[in-house]
Chain A
Amino acid sequence: MLVFKIAWRNILRHKGKSIIIGSILFLGALIMTLGNATAIGMQKGVEENIVRGFTGHIILVSDQETKDNVLFTPMAKPLKILRDYDRISALLRQQDYVKDFIPMTRGGVAILGGSGMNFMLTFGCNFDDFQRVFGNPVEAVEGQLLTNGDHGLLVNEKSRQNQHKMQGYWLVPAGYELNRDNLSKEARSELPGLPQRSDLALGGFGEPNSTDLTLPIRAITRFKSLNNLMQEISIMDIESFRQIFGYYTAADVVQELPPEQEALLASGEEDLFGSADIFSSGSSSTVAELEKTIHAAPRPSAKINYDNAAYNYVSVLLKPGEDLGAAVARTRELMKGNGLPVKVLSWKQASGQVAQISDILRVVINVFVILLFFVAVIIIMNTLSMTAMERTEEFGMMRAVGARKGFITRMFLSETLTLSAIFGGAGILIGALVAWIFHPLGISSGESEILELLFGGEVFQPTLGVGGVVGGVAALGVVTLLAVLYPLFVARRITPLDAINRH
């Protein structure tokens, strides 16, 4: 009581210093809270849009895969075939932490027959399942989305514009008229003679059994979220993918190649990149015929049970609230325990740079906040030390009439902690309030890919939550204690004699 009374009066008595320290604590707490809200908001954005909309939380790939970054690398080496999908899926279905999962393929394809080389990162899936599992992340701008069993390609609207620039033609979904509303400025200027195409001849590379295939464009699409970021991704039906990459025949030769042959293949790959005429081997007419024959009579090796077909990876979505690290560990155990040749990756590992950039931003924010704290600690420490010296008479007097050092400690701490609680508390409160107000409004990333990536979506919503507030209060406490330590030492050292000698 006595301590608090004296502390409070001292705060009022030394208003100038109280205000300096208070403002620093206030600003520090405010900036920290807003930074925190930004970081948490971004994390949430990434979680919502990238994880729940495309990658899933956990990615299962073949244990033959050497690199973790399996999803987004452009011109990536083909992924190994993930064996035993039937057993994997049976196990996943039994896990209580798994919300859903979907098997996928991923590979790089070359667009054939154009003026230059053009690559696309393409994902093969049963598109209906894809839309169901990821909550309809893809929408059609023109044409009609794929349904299971349908053959064809979905091309992103941005990718269409790029291809027009590079190859000179404008893609229109098969069976649809040119939609003039969606033309880019460049394409519009070429009207009425704008070259159009409704199919693309694609060659898979990196796989020994890959063939060329001409696929009809079913739709021009966009991702509802992160479209700028994911514009180079095209999606095709799973069977066309397998066709291009030779998985039907490959299913029989899953066993690993001897190293010499692997090396040979690798050098062959380079040749593939170097000379364009290899691609012309698959003329569109033969491919079209081939396609007909596939429909009419699947080859013997293609007669496969859906669950046992060739995939590259499985995306697993967790139930809300499940801890990612724990789930990865459990899945790893599960696969190992059942002797499955599977490598279990978190979405962060599997997404490479995409996940890292948003991590980097969080690190930058944290470093900034720590720097800010450092400065705040130094300024507060300085001011408090000065205050302690100026109050030599007061402290010395108290000590002279019998106040122990502990009393000085409690008084000094009460003063600083009260200031910290009032001003720092106000900073956290106002920061939380700003985050709360801006959360529903959101901040648009515009057309910027980088911002979109940082925001984890087109719209950034600062989010704080109880954890953020608690963390803020803890950080404020740590800063206050760090700042008060040295001044407290100074104050405790003051003797009655110091006070007398002042006179």
Chain B
Amino acid sequence: MNVIELENVKKDYPLGATTVHALRGVSLAIKEGDFISIVGPSGSGKTTLLNIIGCIDNATEGSVKIHGKEVTTHSDRRLTDLRLHTIGFIFQTFNLIPVLSARENVEFPLLLMKKENLTNKEIRRRAEKLLEEVGLKEQMSQKPFELSGGQRQRVAIARALVTKPAIVLADEPTANLDSETGEMILKQMKELNLLEKTTFVFSTHDPDILKYANGVLKIKDGLMAS
């Protein structure tokens, strides 16, 4: 079954008097349990594509289906709930809520979804376990401004995984990390992918981590290239 299905998706950004065609008709299908890497030069439209899949941006044209459901017509509220329950997102640059500690940032989405029947203790334990796994056992109570760029990125990864979402989207997740930590995190993602059948889609420039992917989508000038 296709977890993600895009058909002829176009995205235009108005830029002054002109229009930037960031995506010019992208079609793709990603199955459950896929571990997909999106590669392409800077400015090719990777971030734009992930944003549209992640329901934080809407396509100018075309169809976007998550779990077979068309989302382009969803209300803001339904999209929000979809982001909370189905999608984990790791952004390229900024990621965390400034006033919350590393642990609280990871707990945040779980606290938003009250229906999960988790006690505060369980939520905390889950957050702590994930932070340990990304190597931040010592930094759990530090605020984002007290963390390095790489550490912040790892907190964001832990947060994206904490709700056990069906889809995890990551925009250059390892860009701010040293190769060792990057490898470690990719391994964890892969483990989760095999264990829970979580679908991963991540963009990268890094050829080293391509080996983990079981599929590579190449994008250039807003179009898929084979």
Contacts and interface: CB of A to CB of B under 8 A. Distances in A.
Contact of A9 (B99, B109, B113, B159): B99
B76 interface: yes
Nearest to B93: A503
Contact of B84 (A2, A402, A502): A402
Contacts of A399: 80
Contacts of B112: 2, 401-403, 407
B94 A401 contact: no
27 contacts: A2-B111, A6-B97, A9-B100, A393-B98, A394-B98, A397-B97, A398-B97, A398-B108, A399-B80, A400-B91, A401-B84, A401-B89, A401-B108, A401-B159, A402-B81, A402-B83, A402-B84, A403-B112, A404-B77, A405-B76, A496-B56, A500-B51, A500-B91, A500-B94, A502-B94, A503-B92, A503-B94
Interface of A: 2, 6, 9-10, 13, 393-394, 397-405, 407, 495-497, 499-500, 502-503
Contact of B113 (A6, A13, A402): A402
Given A2-B111, A497-B57, A500-B51, A400 B97 contact: no
Contacts of B51: 497, 500
Nearest to B111: A2
B95 interface: yes
B96 interface: yes
Nearest to B77: A404
A402 B99 contact: no
B97 A394 contact: yes
A10 B96 contact: no
Interface in B60-109: 76-77, 80-81, 83-85, 89, 91-100, 108-109
A404 B83 CA distance: 10
Contacts of B98: 13, 393-394
Given A402-B112, A404-B80, A500 B99 contact: no
A496 B100 CA distance: 18
A398 B100 CA distance: 11
A200 B83 CA distance: 97
Nearest to B86: A402
Contacts of B109: 401-402
B121 to A, nearest CB: 14
A500 B98 CA distance: 15
Contact of B94 (A10, A397, A404): A397
Contact of A10 (B76, B99, B113): B99
Contact of B99 (A13, A404, A407, A495): A13
Contacts of A9: 99-100
A493 to B, nearest CB: 11
A497 B56 contact: yes
A132 to B, nearest CB: 70
Contacts of B57: 497
Nearest to A401: B109
A395 to B, nearest CB: 9
User: Range of interface residues on chain B?
Assistant: 20 to 34
Contacts of A400: 56, 83, 89, 91
B124 to A, nearest CB: 13
A467 B81 CA distance: 46
B99 A393 contact: no
Nearest to B91: A500
A161 B47 CA distance: 94
* 9 interchain residue pairs of minimum CB distance: A402-B84, A9-B99, A496-B56, A503-B93, A402-B83, A2-B111, A401-B109, A404-B80, A497-B57
Query: Which residue of A394, A400, A407 has the most chain B CB atoms within 10 A of its CB atom?
Result: A400
Contacts of A502: 94
Given A397-B95, A400-B89, A500 B80 contact: no
A499 B159 CA distance: 18
A399 B109 CA distance: 10
Nearest to B83: A402
Contacts of B100: 6, 9
A6 B104 CA distance: 10
A402 B96 contact: no
A400 B96 CA distance: 11
A393 B89 CA distance: 15
Given A496-B56, A500-B51, A402 B94 contact: no
Contacts of A503: 92-94
A450 B165 CA distance: 76
B93 A397 contact: no
A167 to B, nearest CB: 82
Contacts of A401: 83-84, 89, 108-109, 112, 159
A398 B96 CA distance: 9
Given A398-B97, A401-B112, A495-B56, 5 more contacts: A6-B97, A6-B99, A394-B99, A402-B80, A402-B81
Contacts of A496: 56
A10 B98 CA distance: 9
Contacts of A403: 80, 84, 112
Contacts of B108: 2, 398, 401
A2 B77 CA distance: 20
A495 B56 CA distance: 8
A497 B47 CA distance: 11
Interface string B198-211: 00000000000000
Contact of A402 (B47, B85, B91): B85
Nearest to A11: B99
Contact of A500 (B56, B84, B111): B56
B142 to A, nearest CB: 14
A399 to B, nearest CB: 7
A6 B97 CA distance: 10
Contacts of B111: 2
Query: Which residue of B76, B85, B97 has the most chain A CB atoms within 10 A of its CB atom?
Result: B97
B107 to A, nearest CB: 9
A201 B109 CA distance: 95
Interface in B99-138: 99-100, 108-109, 111-113
Nearest to B113: A402
Query: Which residue of B47, B76, B98, B113 has the most chain A CB atoms within 10 A of its CB atom?
Result: B98
A441 B97 CA distance: 54
Interface in B149-206: 159
A217 B33 CA distance: 113
A466 B208 CA distance: 73
A403 B108 CA distance: 9
Nearest to A12: B99
Contacts of B95: 397
Contacts of B97: 6, 394, 397-398
Contacts of A394: 97-99
